[in-house]
Chain A
């Protein structure tokens, strides 16, 4: 600040404007007494006279004054701007010419109090607003936006005409409207400013408009005073207790006796085992306590408090309103209307944002489930260790990042490596366990669960229980932002693209390759396929390995946006099965439909009940259980021979 002022001083010294240069100095000279001993009440006109003088030095004089750098030489009472340099001061004359250096001891510093400094700062706003440095102008705008005051309005308007930077000019106009709608003395100007904001969904607009429609609740004996928003009916809009509290707060009725106070008062008045003529042992009912308190009231030992009847009468005698804090009705009406139009637009944008969120969640579920759709949907083998294959994929990514520090390269290595590792694990599992259980699906489920328990614990033992990071490359940081409401992070877009690639890959593999043909043949009739020269064992092994390998790649993708723990796969396993079952077994389009439905459903439930994502999952599972009632074979059910049974 000080350095900039010095810089500006130096600049003005290089290009002095003699005609005006004397003016600020002259004003200072005229008002020497008031400047030396300023008072908040009277100094205002002097400060504004300096500020509006048009003298380039006015800015420096005022900021020096506020910074306690305006000094007076003890020997001849001459006034200078001082900048500390070494042990002394570098002096500048009030007209901007340098005046050499001098020791500190020769000068008295002017020390205006906080109130006066506040006035000076406000006057300085107009200089910063038209400062040649755009960064300072931006800073000034930010500080006004953060703490809007009525005083900032005039300088802001004045600086609009001279602003040349189009971006800053737009920002200034926007801020001017925000200030106008709050502080302009003319209601018509405020209404115009409010209406000009219709349809603007940014957060700061809503932040500027919302205070205008803030309300308080109030109770009135007769007609309401102020700008009434709406009438409140006791029992419908507010409870009787709330209404009575309003009356008490407005000193329109005596406070009610709380149960604790009653208890304390009774306990304090126990006389020989009796309170107000009632034995203490009988005071275990509220009715008896009320009687005892009334007796004490009658005796005058306790203060009287409102009884239920009195409270009812007081409520009946008063009316309750919501009153706008803003007194001007035209302004509140305009603001309400504008906010309503903004709200409609925000709602539409939120729906769009929700749609994007739902799509990206659907992509994640699709990725997690597509491997399962192959093993479960195509082969009919249930693999409960699928979740652990996802985890293994994510840990593979983590280990690769330990050795390859470049994040882009490491992800490119991790994706095929994760596929290879989980492919191998899947093939091993198929050969060792699942092959023996093809005709016994329940046993397959249990055996793979045993493997799942063991794998999860092994991963926990090896990698520990704390979450491991899997860092996305830098170019995936940040989010694609459309406006203040709609945005989506690049990682989610990447996952979405990955899901699309897998969909294409899967379709190509099943419909266009020899392997896909053989897989479909073995699925439909293993014996016939075998008699045609296809080796069902080999096909089953490859298919299972493929499903597991895709789980590994999904693990890398999921690990990019969630922490990698040994339990991360288990979190997805039930949802993945649900996705496959809801979508329809044995059909990749079904998996797509299932994941889209479950993803959107979860997002919608979360939106309706934002505080509680656990409840969202509960309701979603309930929905799925009910859904299966109506479409037991899923959204896209296979028909005819392909359906098997």
Chain B
């Protein structure tokens, strides 16, 4: 028991080493600091992908380890993005408004600046008042706290309500989906205070860094995303490798038995739910300044389903599987939907990748669910020579939905 953390978890060491190498390689090839082999927009894409990997890690913890299929985690991701977006947009607009007002000969009063910002930001939805939820938008520390507190509190309240009344399985999935749908519909309104379906835009312009080129900023965000992913991976690996990890895996396999053994199942679930929501929010905080724009469509139920698709394809129940799945599928997706791939002629019709990519993804997903429940991560088992004992595929627990023997690792 005195062996070090990395000795017990060799995959973490390999992962960190690989991530470090990747970060170094991208930095050396970037336009900002390196040879300029890859474009700034691609650096941003890679940075965003790292953020998606981080939220996939969170999804893996809650689904792969705790067995709770949440179809609402992208709501926490987007909420984090909205909170940081409010500060970015406010501070950026403030710079512009102060510059514009000082043209008039008199220095601007705080009230004038406030009014100017409100008109600038909310003119597009026909309002000129700053809603109350923007009260803290002037301060980066406060808004950063909100970026974690708002999704965290939402997850805490929602999770408490749901787990308390023993909503489990598909019911919980549907309920989380309803939650993200409700949030998305709410944000779509113009009087939600977050600019309706216009969303928040211009987030790639950092306040106070007007002179710094996007080449450099993109690299900074890439580093931050890589660091967050590394820390997230280590934290989650530490969480799942201890006793806590054993308990949540036990909850996944046989919830009733764990409860009868005296563990407070609801508290464990609530902790996992809230922790993963916080990680998702953190990923959102890093993602949206790189994306530059956020709107309510980001909270649509389909976004959370893609998250589940990534984790399933990568291989749930193992952290590196989630990262591989998210990186693989989202990069492939941006490649196929970019419109740069040539059409494939098939006799009278030609196959357009932009149109047919989603069909391919959906069917691939069905195939993975049916034929390869371990996903891409299963390949590593084969590589390592891990062969599960053949017990004719019996489930590990008595519940419907408990892990089947052939998809359990080790």
Are the CB atoms of A280 and B177 closer together than 8 Å? no
Residue A236 at the chain B interface, CB threshold 8 Å:
no
Chain B, Cβ-Cβ closest to A585: B171
| Interface check A461, CB cutoff 8 A | yes
Residue A574 at the chain B interface, CB threshold 8 Å: yes
Report A409-437 residues with CB < 8 Å from chain B CB. 433, 436-437
> In the complex, A171 Cα to B366 Cα: how many Å?
68
Q: Is the CB of A447 within 8 A of B370?
A: yes
Pick the contact of B178: A450, A460, A574 (CB < 8 A): A574
Q: Do B189 and A614 have beta carbons less than 8 Å apart?
A: yes
Stretch of B5-13, B17-25, B203-211, B356-364 with 4 or more beta carbons under 8 angstroms from chain A = B356-364
Q: Mark each residue of chain B from 167 to 203: 1 if its CB lies under 8 Å from any CB of chain A, else 0.
A: 1011101110111011101101101000000000000
- The answer to whether B369 has its CB under 8 Å from any CB of chain A is yes
Q: Is the CB of A457 within 8 A of B109?
A: no
Contact partner of B165 (CB less than 8 A), chosen from A380, A382, A458, A632, is A632
Cα separation A566 to B107 with both chains bound (whole Å): 55
Nearest to A286 among chain B residues (CB) is B109
- For the complex, is A615 an interface residue (Cβ under 8 Å from B)? yes
Is B169 touching A449 in the complex (CB atoms < 8 A)?
A: no
Q: Does B377 interact with chain A (Cβ within 8 Å)?
A: no
- CB contact between B181 and one of A275, A461, A621 (< 8 Å): that residue: A621
| Structural contact, B104 and A457, CB atoms closer than 8 A | no
Q: A447-B365, A454-B363 are in contact. Are A440 and B401 (CB under 8 A)?
A: yes
- A156 to nearest B CB, angstroms? 46
Per the bound structure, the CA–CA distance linking A625 and B358 in Å amounts to 31
A285 closest partner in B (C-beta):
B109
Check B363–A574 contact: CB distance below 8 A: no
Given A445-B69, A446-B308, A450-B369: A629 and B165 interface contact (C-beta under 8 Å): yes
Chain A residues near B162: list those with CB within 8 A.
625
Residue of B nearest to A580 (CB): B174
Q: Using a Cβ–Cβ cut-off of 8 Å, how many residues does chain B contribute to the interface with A?
A: 59
- Tell me the chain A residues, 493-507 only, with Cβ under 8 Å from chain B: none
B85 at the interface (CB under 8 A from A): no
CB pair A382–B301 under 8 Å, yes or no, is no
Selected from A289, A437, A581, A625, the residue in CB contact (under 8 A) with B179 is: A625
Which residues in A have their C-beta under 8 angstroms from that of B69? 442, 445-446
B373 close to chain A: CB less than 8 A: yes
Residues of A within 8 A of B401 (CB): 439-443
Residue of B nearest to A644 (CB): B400
Q: Is B259 engaged at the interface, CB distance under 8 Å to the other chain?
A: no
Known: A283-B106, A439-B395, A450-B363. A445 touches B173 (CB 8 A): yes
What's the Cα separation between A459 and B171 when bound, in Å? 28
* CB <8 Å contact, B175 and A625: yes
Q: Is the Cβ of A618 less than 8 Å from the Cβ of B167? A: no
A460 — nearest CB in chain B belongs to which residue?
A: B355
Q: Does B257 contact A (CB under 8 A)?
A: no
Say if the beta carbon of A158 comes within 8 Å of chain B. no
A62 proximal to B (CB < 8 A) = no
A295-327 contacts to B, CB under 8 A, are: none
Question: CB of A391 within 8 A of chain B?
Answer: no
Decide: A614 and B186 in contact? CB cutoff 8 A.
yes
Q: Are B366 and A450 in contact (CB under 8 A)?
A: yes
Confirm or deny: B50 has a beta carbon within 8 angstroms of a beta carbon on chain A: no
A446 to B179, CA, bound (A): 18
Partner of A618, one of B186, B365, B404: B186
Q: Which of B249-299 contact A (CB under 8 A)?
A: none
Asked if A577 meets B363 with Cβ closer than 8 Å, knowing A280-B105, A284-B108, A614-B189, the reply is no
Interface contact A259-B395, CB-CB below 8 Å: no
Partner of A624, one of B178, B188, B189, B191: B178
A residues contacting the other copy or chain, number (CB 8 A): 55
Q: Which residues of A contact B174 (CB under 8 A)?
A: 382, 574, 577-578, 581
- For B302, what are the chain A residues with a Cβ–Cβ distance below 8 Å? 453
A280: which B residues are within 8 A, CB to CB? 105-107
Q: At the interface, yes or no: A617 with Cβ under 8 Å from chain B?
A: yes
> Are B358 and A457 within 8 A (Cβ)?
yes
Check if A450 sits within 8 Å of B309, measured CB to CB: yes
Residue in chain B with minimal CB distance to A284: B107
Chain A: minimal CB distance from B288 (Å): 22
A37 beta carbon closer than 8 Å to chain B = no
Q: Is B112 an interface residue (CB 8 A)?
A: yes
B188:A614 contact, CB within 8 angstroms: yes
Q: Which A residues touch B111, using CB under 8 A?
A: 259, 286
**Residues in B neighbouring A192, C-beta threshold 8 A:** none
Residue of A nearest to B191 (CB): A612
Does A40 lie at the interface of the complex (its beta carbon under 8 Å from any beta carbon of B)? no
Report how far A27 CA is from B400 CA in the complex, Å.
Answer: 103
A472 interfacial contact with B, CB 8 Å: no
Quote the shortest CB–CB distance from A30 to chain B (angstroms).
66
- Contact A625 B362, CB 8 Å, known A280-B106, A433-B370, A449-B305: no
Question: Is A532's beta carbon under 8 Å from chain B?
Answer: no
The reply to whether B178 and A621 contact each other, CB–CB distance below 8 Å, is yes
Contact in complex: B362, A437 (CB < 8 Å): no
- Is residue B161 within 8 Å, beta carbon to beta carbon, of the partner chain? yes
Quick one: which of A380, A451, A578 contacts B366, CB cutoff 8 A? A451
Shortest beta-carbon distance, B109 to chain A, in Å? 5
**A453–B182 CB distance below 8 A:** no
A629 x B164 contact (CB < 8 A): yes
B370 pairs with A617, CB closer than 8 A: no
For residue A622, CB closer than 8 A to chain B, the reply is yes
On whether the beta carbons of A453 and B365 are closer than 8 Å, the reply is yes
Chain A neighbourhood of B170, CB < 8 A: 382, 441-442, 445
In the complex, the chain B residue whose C-beta lies closest to that of A447 is: B369
CB of B186 within 8 A of CB of A625, answer no
Interface pick from A71-79, A92-100, A263-271, A337-345: A263-271
* Nearest-Cβ distance from residue A542 to partner chain B, whole angstroms: 22
Shortest CB-to-CB span from A134 to chain B, Å, is 49
From B182, B186, B359, contact of A457 by CB (8 A): B359
Return the 10 tightest CB-CB contacts between A and B, nearest first: A454-B362, A450-B365, A453-B362, A621-B182, A457-B358, A284-B107, A450-B366, A267-B105, A618-B186, A447-B369
B contacts, CB < 8 Å to A: 67, 69, 104-112, 158, 161-162, 164-167, 169-171, 173-175, 177-179, 181-183, 185-186, 188-189, 191, 301-302, 305, 308-309, 312, 355-356, 358-366, 369-370, 373, 395, 400-401, 404
- 13 A-B interface contacts by CB (under 8 A): A259-B112, A263-B104, A283-B109, A439-B395, A446-B365, A453-B359, A454-B359, A574-B178, A612-B189, A612-B191, A621-B178, A621-B179, A621-B181
Besides the contacts A284-B109, A445-B69, what 15 more A-B pairs have beta carbons closer than 8 Å? A263-B104, A267-B105, A286-B111, A433-B366, A439-B395, A446-B365, A449-B362, A449-B365, A450-B366, A452-B362, A454-B358, A454-B361, A454-B363, A574-B178, A632-B165
